Chains A and B, each alone.
Chain A
Amino acid sequence: MSQDRPNNHPEPKVGVYVCHCGGNISDQVDVEQVARQAAGLPGVTAARHYSFMCSDPGQQMILEDLTSGRVDRVVVASCAPALHETTFREVLRRAGLNPYLYEHANIREQVSWVHHGPGATAKATALVAAATAKARELAPLMPIRVAATRHATVIGGGVAGLTAALDLAARGVEVALVETTPFLGGNLALLDRTFPTNEAAADLLTGLARRVLAQERISLYTCARLTGFSGYVGDFHLSLSQAPPRDDETLERLARFGEPGPECQPFRGVLPVAPPNAERRIELNTGAVVLATGFRHYQPPEGEYGYRQSSRVLTLPEFIALMAAIPAGQPLAFEGSPVASLALVHCVGSRQIPGIHEPPPGRELNQHCSRVCCTASLQAAGEARERFPETTIYELYRDIRSYGRGHEDYYLKASRSGVVFARFNPEDPPRVEADDSGDNPLKVTVKDTILAGEELELGVDLVVLAVGMEPGPVAELTQLMKLPQGADGFLQEVHPKLRPVELASGGLFLAGTCQAPMDVGEAASAAAAAAVKAAGLVTRGQVELEPFVATVDLARCDGCGDCVAACLREGALTLIETAAGQKARVEPALCLGCGVCVAACPAEAIQVAGWSLPQFRAMVQAIAQSGAEQGGQA
């Protein structure tokens, strides 16, 4: 690497380019002086300044110096490298040079935006000196290329998983679709009609399942659990363990199905294939993994709004199933008695507030808005009023967030159908009590915010809780695959806008409600996006990775293993036997480039390419020297 520059290697010729960034930099930093100082540094053969280095003329200026042979490596002093590092590396590539012969000095965010006066120029001068010193030590680097298997694995057989699997297969990718239960359809199977089209959930799922079963490129593994995960982007190794279902609930649900097939049974899902009779282990080699593990409905603890204290307190999914089971034309009844009135409570298990809500033992509060429950409640209330006009419906809410296309129509429809709304403050939530005195078995007391905080007492026969969405039970998976989770427990993307369906680890993608509460359409959109990203990766045949990974100097390595012990990424560093004894070996595709091993190595036998110790030493020396010179001038 760079520290081993052969003696016959010509002296590097560094070009230094100082950007004004309009006045963003030059208003605070004397850019001319910075360039002048740079011109006097060892190895510098060109030092220029310009109003916008990133502009076409700015890039052209660098390109001309490179093509004329005046310089063979470049330092640009401008904004943060996140903005334009790749821009200037591209200039080197255009000039036919290795793009890693480039060093960036950030004199905007780290200088002109935070320092004013002569100190700003001094710091900029020092940073440019450091970058120049490092640039002299740079060596050409090659991106790491790893072969990508033209195969993707989708974990989760709900609407997002089905969609992602179909979209991947349509792009010619072999897909393994892995589902822990014997069923397809996930939470969508537990719904009746979906907004905003009122399509039956079962019809949607039957359509998807039919296509999945007909798609030859999709291999379906139901009753399958991920038990092993290793490898890296383009070349993951997955172990699946398939087992016959044993829990009573699943067996009971299974008993309701006849022959397996794509037909979705309302509120039960699809039984696509017969569950396995025996345990089986499956090994998969896959290029990308799409996580579509879904969500789980918030389960209110006993006593929250009377839940489980009264059988007449239901969750919204339970109420939807109750309504669906009532034959057309019949009145709404619960356990044989008519329901004259009911109260629907919003934000149950969502938008919880520290100090007001109590987290369940060992759990965090759900501070997020679950987004879909408002429209789902409005849809259910409107449908109930339409089908059961004799039933009075109260809808108790904090805010109505009917945000999506067509969602507001459900709000208006519910209003016009005579649903009586009451808005409450979270610090005064509705109270649900048994009531033996009145006509109704339950009494709900709510402080109405419009009526100057006056309390309303509602006699009701049912209370329906619009439960929110929580992260699914994926603790085992997150442990195994080392998946990042947000503070809300949902899996977390790299960047919410720029890389919304990718995880920080290459080759892992997010589809649907494992990432955040979404409605069906949004989950399908996310799944389609994840499928495109994953397909783009595995169909190229190989993956290119940044070359900034650890490298071992075998001559110096004595195989002590300190680096392996310090390494943060499992599998990135291993000890191997060589003819010269035990040595450390780096798996470049797994290495994070963090440099922990460099610090741990007692023999200075391991370096991170592009960030080697000699490079750091040169930078430190340059900064110290620059400081001494400027101190002397002052």
Chain B
Amino acid sequence: MGQTPFIEVNQAIVESGGVDLNACMQCGLCAAVCPWREVAGEFLPRLMIRQGQLGLEGYESDDVLFGCTTCNKCVINCPREVDIIGVMRAMRSLVVESGGAPETLKAVLGSCHANGNPWSEPREKRMAWSEGLEVPAFTPDKEHLLFVCCTSCYEQRSQKIARSLVELLNRAGVSYGVLGPEQNCCGESVRKIGDEALFQKLAKANLEMFQAHGVKKIITTSPHCLQTFSRDYPALGGEYQVIHSSQLLAELAAAGRLPLSASDGRKVAYHDPCYLGRHGGVFDPPRAAISACGVQVVELEREKEFSLCCGGGGGRVWMETPPEQRFSLLRVQEAAAAGAQVLATACPYCVSLLEDSRKTAGLEDLRIMEISELLAENLG
């Protein structure tokens, strides 16, 4: 018995924002370049889109529809420039709106609803990361708002990223400040998970807060916040000058505003985060920032546009992936094989997953560092 297409699903996906659904000609390049091929994963973007085009069942599972890490590799390679992530997001939204989100993601969405962060942590503990540090509050006379990613607010390993960055900003004399617990998750992952209504709610709250405090320029610690502020928020009425910390650090280093020792002789490989590189086109500033402290830069084979995703985007950071299917494991092994002592990166999700895989692989001689951490270690 054959399957009967359910064209209404096709139309619903298009109406939910997957406007490019039917532009896909099923060439399969997306499936070929998808990082899931490296670990024999089940997720095939072409098949997912095919099922969406025909409205056929079979794509809704955690491993298929929620397998996508939104790394953008398929999108930049698509010969028809299909917004594959947009299609995937629309397909997820149909599932999520009918209560079909994977269980772990339901908890994430629930926490964002209740606490304004995905980590099921209380809102009032949002500034716990800054304990013992001199972190100015944002006031209209400050040039930048420092927007610390929820992950670096709450997760212990990640807090060090924010703490290092603050140390650097203070030493460089940057005019900045932070907003407290009223800050909400930027909503990037929430939107990719497919909960459009929740994204709108979070974004609206942040926009009102930015407006109320007279924010004009934003420094983000996460490339995910960077992308959502610069790509998604303008459509909701909020235009800001947004810069990622690695870009700012490169500028500060070039201007001689960071007293760096420039004598760190370690071999450092740089892992391009998807949202900074393939999504944002930012490839050189992080490398410039790293070079400023005198390290030996080791380029990985899969670099820049070809970078290997850590596996944490699109909500996957909260989902369980068996070790043999973790992209981050391949990545730390690649760095170790290239002789790197430090695998530097510029995204809290990447740091978390690479750190996990480093432990899994037992690579005790390899350190995973966010660029801020690397530079802070080299402050003279």
Can you sample 27 A-B contacts with CB below 8 Å?
A341-B7, A392-B7, A394-B5, A411-B25, A412-B80, A415-B24, A418-B10, A418-B11, A419-B22, A420-B5, A420-B22, A421-B26, A450-B26, A450-B28, A450-B47, A450-B50, A451-B54, A451-B56, A455-B2, A455-B3, A456-B2, A456-B3, A457-B1, A457-B2, A457-B3, A458-B4, A459-B4
Let me know if A417 is at the binding interface, CB within 8 A. yes
Would you call B5 and A458 a contact (CB within 8 A)? yes
Q: Contact check: which of B14, B25, B47 meets A421 at CB < 8 Å? A: B25
Q: What are the residues of chain B within 8 A of A416 when measuring CB–CB? A: 20, 22-23
Would you call B50 and A451 a contact (CB within 8 A)? yes
Let me know if B183 is at the binding interface, CB within 8 A. no
Let me know if A194 is at the binding interface, CB within 8 A. no
Q: What are the residues of chain B within 8 A of A418 when measuring CB–CB? A: 10-11, 14, 22
Given contacts A456-B2, A458-B4, are A417 and B22 in contact (CB under 8 A)? yes
Let me know if A423 is at the binding interface, CB within 8 A. yes
Taken together as a complex, chains A and B put the C-alpha atoms of A420 and B53 apart, in Å, by 7
Would you call B47 and A451 a contact (CB within 8 A)? yes
Q: What are the residues of chain B within 8 A of A448 when measuring CB–CB? A: 50, 54
Let me know if B46 is at the binding interface, CB within 8 A. yes
Taken together as a complex, chains A and B put the C-alpha atoms of A583 and B168 apart, in Å, by 113
Would you call B54 and A423 a contact (CB within 8 A)? no
Would you call B25 and A456 a contact (CB within 8 A)? no
Q: What are the residues of chain A within 8 A of B3 when measuring CB–CB? A: 451, 454-457
Taken together as a complex, chains A and B put the C-alpha atoms of A421 and B10 apart, in Å, by 12
Let me know if A24 is at the binding interface, CB within 8 A. no
Taken together as a complex, chains A and B put the C-alpha atoms of A457 and B1 apart, in Å, by 8
A-contact bits for B80-97, CB 8 A (1 contact / 0 none): 100000000000000000
CB distance from A68 to the nearest CB of B (A): 67
Q: Contact check: which of B7, B25, B51 meets A415 at CB < 8 Å? A: B25
Taken together as a complex, chains A and B put the C-alpha atoms of A419 and B7 apart, in Å, by 10
Would you call A420 and B54 a contact (CB within 8 A)? yes
Let me know if A241 is at the binding interface, CB within 8 A. no
Given contacts A392-B7, A450-B46, are A445 and B2 in contact (CB under 8 A)? yes
Within 8 A of A (CB), among B238-263: none
A-contact bits for B1-38, CB 8 A (1 contact / 0 none): 11111010011001000001011111010000000000
Taken together as a complex, chains A and B put the C-alpha atoms of A394 and B53 apart, in Å, by 11
Residues of B in contact (CB 8 Å), total 24
Which 7 residue pairs of A and B lie closest in terms of their CB atoms, listed nearest first?
A: A455-B2, A457-B2, A450-B50, A418-B22, A457-B4, A415-B23, A416-B23
Residue in A closest to B44 when the chains form the complex, CB atoms: A450
Taken together as a complex, chains A and B put the C-alpha atoms of A451 and B14 apart, in Å, by 21
Residue in B closest to A411 when the chains form the complex, CB atoms: B25
Taken together as a complex, chains A and B put the C-alpha atoms of A417 and B21 apart, in Å, by 10
Taken together as a complex, chains A and B put the C-alpha atoms of A82 and B26 apart, in Å, by 48
Residue in A closest to B14 when the chains form the complex, CB atoms: A418
Taken together as a complex, chains A and B put the C-alpha atoms of A35 and B20 apart, in Å, by 73
Within 8 A of A (CB), among B43-67: 46-47, 50-51, 53-54, 56
Q: What are the residues of chain A within 8 A of B51 when measuring CB–CB? A: 451
Q: Which residues of B contact A (CB under 8 A)?
A: 1-5, 7, 10-11, 14, 20, 22-26, 28, 46-47, 50-51, 53-54, 56, 80
B-contact bits for A373-400, CB 8 A (1 contact / 0 none): 0000000000000000000101000001
Taken together as a complex, chains A and B put the C-alpha atoms of A501 and B7 apart, in Å, by 48
Q: What are the residues of chain A within 8 A of B28 when measuring CB–CB? A: 450
Q: Which residues of A contact B (CB under 8 A)?
A: 341, 392, 394, 400, 411-412, 415-421, 423, 445, 448, 450-451, 454-459
CB distance from B311 to the nearest CB of A (A): 26
Q: What are the residues of chain B within 8 A of A392 when measuring CB–CB? A: 7
Residue in B closest to A458 when the chains form the complex, CB atoms: B5
Taken together as a complex, chains A and B put the C-alpha atoms of A448 and B47 apart, in Å, by 12
CB distance from A444 to the nearest CB of B (A): 10
Q: What are the residues of chain B within 8 A of A457 when measuring CB–CB? A: 1-4
Residue in A closest to B58 when the chains form the complex, CB atoms: A451
Taken together as a complex, chains A and B put the C-alpha atoms of A457 and B10 apart, in Å, by 16
Sample of 8 more A-B contacts, CB < 8 Å, known A454-B2, A457-B3 = A415-B22, A416-B23, A445-B2, A450-B28, A451-B50, A457-B4, A458-B5, A459-B4
Q: What are the residues of chain B within 8 A of A412 when measuring CB–CB? A: 23, 80
CB distance from B193 to the nearest CB of A (A): 26
Q: What are the residues of chain A within 8 A of B11 when measuring CB–CB? A: 418
Would you call B4 and A456 a contact (CB within 8 A)? yes
Q: What are the residues of chain B within 8 A of A451 when measuring CB–CB? A: 3, 47, 50-51, 54, 56
Taken together as a complex, chains A and B put the C-alpha atoms of A456 and B46 apart, in Å, by 17
Residue in B closest to A457 when the chains form the complex, CB atoms: B2
Taken together as a complex, chains A and B put the C-alpha atoms of A416 and B50 apart, in Å, by 14
CB distance from A453 to the nearest CB of B (A): 11
Residue in A closest to B11 when the chains form the complex, CB atoms: A418
Residue in A closest to B49 when the chains form the complex, CB atoms: A450
Residue in A closest to B2 when the chains form the complex, CB atoms: A455
Residue in A closest to B24 when the chains form the complex, CB atoms: A415
Given contacts A450-B50, A451-B56, are A456 and B10 in contact (CB under 8 A)? no
Taken together as a complex, chains A and B put the C-alpha atoms of A445 and B25 apart, in Å, by 20
CB distance from A234 to the nearest CB of B (A): 53
Q: What are the residues of chain A within 8 A of B56 when measuring CB–CB? A: 451
Taken together as a complex, chains A and B put the C-alpha atoms of A518 and B242 apart, in Å, by 55
Interface centre among A400, A418, A419, A454 (most CB of B within 10 A): A418
Taken together as a complex, chains A and B put the C-alpha atoms of A421 and B28 apart, in Å, by 14
Residue in B closest to A455 when the chains form the complex, CB atoms: B2
Residue in A closest to B21 when the chains form the complex, CB atoms: A418
Taken together as a complex, chains A and B put the C-alpha atoms of A418 and B1 apart, in Å, by 26
Q: What are the residues of chain A within 8 A of B1 when measuring CB–CB? A: 457
Q: What are the residues of chain B within 8 A of A421 when measuring CB–CB? A: 25-26
Q: What are the residues of chain B within 8 A of A454 when measuring CB–CB? A: 2-3
CB distance from B32 to the nearest CB of A (A): 14
Taken together as a complex, chains A and B put the C-alpha atoms of A394 and B10 apart, in Å, by 13
Q: What are the residues of chain A within 8 A of B80 when measuring CB–CB? A: 412, 415
CB distance from A438 to the nearest CB of B (A): 9
Residue in A closest to B55 when the chains form the complex, CB atoms: A420
Taken together as a complex, chains A and B put the C-alpha atoms of A411 and B46 apart, in Å, by 18
Q: What are the residues of chain B within 8 A of A417 when measuring CB–CB? A: 22
Taken together as a complex, chains A and B put the C-alpha atoms of A253 and B5 apart, in Å, by 42
Q: What are the residues of chain B within 8 A of A411 when measuring CB–CB? A: 25
Taken together as a complex, chains A and B put the C-alpha atoms of A420 and B10 apart, in Å, by 9
Q: What are the residues of chain A within 8 A of B26 when measuring CB–CB? A: 421, 423, 450
CB distance from A441 to the nearest CB of B (A): 16
Residue in B closest to A419 when the chains form the complex, CB atoms: B22
Given contacts A392-B7, A451-B47, are A456 and B54 in contact (CB under 8 A)? yes
Q: Contact check: which of A400, A420, A423, A455 meets B7 at CB < 8 Å? A: A420
Interface centre among B2, B20, B56 (most CB of A within 10 A): B2
CB distance from B107 to the nearest CB of A (A): 33
Taken together as a complex, chains A and B put the C-alpha atoms of A420 and B4 apart, in Å, by 13
Taken together as a complex, chains A and B put the C-alpha atoms of A392 and B24 apart, in Å, by 17
Taken together as a complex, chains A and B put the C-alpha atoms of A31 and B267 apart, in Å, by 66
CB distance from B57 to the nearest CB of A (A): 12
Residue in B closest to A394 when the chains form the complex, CB atoms: B5
Q: What are the residues of chain B within 8 A of A450 when measuring CB–CB? A: 26, 28, 46-47, 50
Taken together as a complex, chains A and B put the C-alpha atoms of A416 and B81 apart, in Å, by 12
Taken together as a complex, chains A and B put the C-alpha atoms of A411 and B27 apart, in Å, by 13
Q: What are the residues of chain A within 8 A of B7 when measuring CB–CB? A: 341, 392, 420
Taken together as a complex, chains A and B put the C-alpha atoms of A400 and B10 apart, in Å, by 22
CB distance from A385 to the nearest CB of B (A): 10
Interface centre among A411, A450, A454 (most CB of B within 10 A): A450
CB distance from B64 to the nearest CB of A (A): 13
CB distance from B130 to the nearest CB of A (A): 49
CB distance from A306 to the nearest CB of B (A): 17
Interface centre among B1, B20, B50, B54 (most CB of A within 10 A): B54
Residue in B closest to A413 when the chains form the complex, CB atoms: B23
Taken together as a complex, chains A and B put the C-alpha atoms of A419 and B5 apart, in Å, by 13
CB distance from B327 to the nearest CB of A (A): 25
Residue in A closest to B82 when the chains form the complex, CB atoms: A415
Taken together as a complex, chains A and B put the C-alpha atoms of A411 and B26 apart, in Å, by 13
CB distance from B10 to the nearest CB of A (A): 7
